[in-house]
């Protein structure tokens, strides 16, 4: 189910913070109540392979997201206790020690099911084929709780964190100036107005 252009689901989920506290997080309310953008990224499993590289990459860019008024939230279907164990495992031992953003523990799969990002498929006998964990889904949500980007990677394919920063920059430019952002747009580059003359002028120079 596609959510781009729609409100993010109003669902509260148990989460773990880096201090070891179990908390409840409603992603929609994180955006609307704090008047911030939210980047929510899902990954398949704790204590696996591509996943820790992504969590560390988002952590390394935390100041860039903060400068852009954006909250980063990780998520998987592991329990909060497993998240905390992973948070207390050293980076050089495959852990995510040093990660400070909150991580959803959607162990009952309520939110993941609504988003339709689970790999599990039920057969005719009611048995689940697959691990019933999430693909690498990513959502960018604006200050009103509306999704302005969503994407889903297959399990082995890690994300490029820099491109989410670019997308946030582009969307913020649109919010401020009412422009549209062409292919490969980056902060500081020329944008366009949504009319034929502006498009023709842009294409004549690019």
Asked whether residue 154 falls in the same domain as residue 64, the answer is yes
Asked whether residue 168 falls in the same domain as residue 155, the answer is no
Asked whether residue 186 falls in the same domain as residue 95, the answer is no
Catalytic positions: 51
Answer whether 80's CB lies under 8 Å from 15's CB.
Answer: yes
Phi, then psi, of 13 in degrees rounded to 5: -135, 140
Asked whether residue 167 falls in the same domain as residue 202, the answer is yes
Asked whether residue 54 falls in the same domain as residue 127, the answer is yes
Report the alpha-carbon angle 144-102-146, nearest 5. Answer: 15
Asked whether residue 170 falls in the same domain as residue 154, the answer is no
Tens digits of residue pLDDT in 3-16: 999 999 999 999 99
Asked whether residue 34 falls in the same domain as residue 73, the answer is yes
Asked whether residue 74 falls in the same domain as residue 128, the answer is yes
Asked whether residue 38 falls in the same domain as residue 137, the answer is yes
Tens digits of residue pLDDT in 123-175: 666 667 678 999 999 999 999 999 999 999 999 999 999 999 999 999 999 99
The number of domains in the chain is 2
In a domain, 3, yes or no: no
Residue range of the domain that includes 192: 160-206
Give the confidence band of 120 by pLDDT, cuts at 50, 70, 90.
confident
């Amino acid at each position: 189910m596609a959510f781009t252009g729609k409100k993010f689901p109003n669902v509260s989920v148990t989460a773990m913070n880096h201090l070891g506290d179990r908390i409840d997080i409603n992603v929609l309310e994180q955006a609307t109540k704090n008047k911030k953008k939210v980047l929510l990224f899902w990954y398949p499993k704790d204590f696996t392979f591509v996943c820790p590289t992504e969590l560390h990459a988002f952590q390394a860019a935390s100041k860039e997201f903060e400068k852009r008024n954006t909250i980063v939230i990780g998520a998987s279907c592991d329990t909060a206790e497993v998240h905390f164990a992973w948070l207390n495992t050293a980076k050089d031992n495959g852990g995510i020690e040093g990660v400070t953003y909150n991580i959803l523990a959607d162990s009952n799969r309520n939110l993941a099911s609504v988003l339709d990002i689970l790999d599990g498929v039920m057969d005719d006998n009611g048995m689940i084929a697959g691990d019933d964990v999430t693909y690498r889904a990513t959502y960018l949500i604006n200050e009103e709780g509306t999704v302005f980007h969503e994407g889903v990677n297959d399990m082995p394919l890690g994300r490029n964190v820099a491109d989410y920063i670019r997308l946030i920059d582009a969307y913020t430019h649109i919010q401020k100036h009412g422009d549209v952002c062409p292919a490969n747009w980056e902060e500081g580059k020329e944008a366009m107005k949504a009319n034929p003359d502006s498009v023709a002028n842009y294409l004549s120079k690019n």
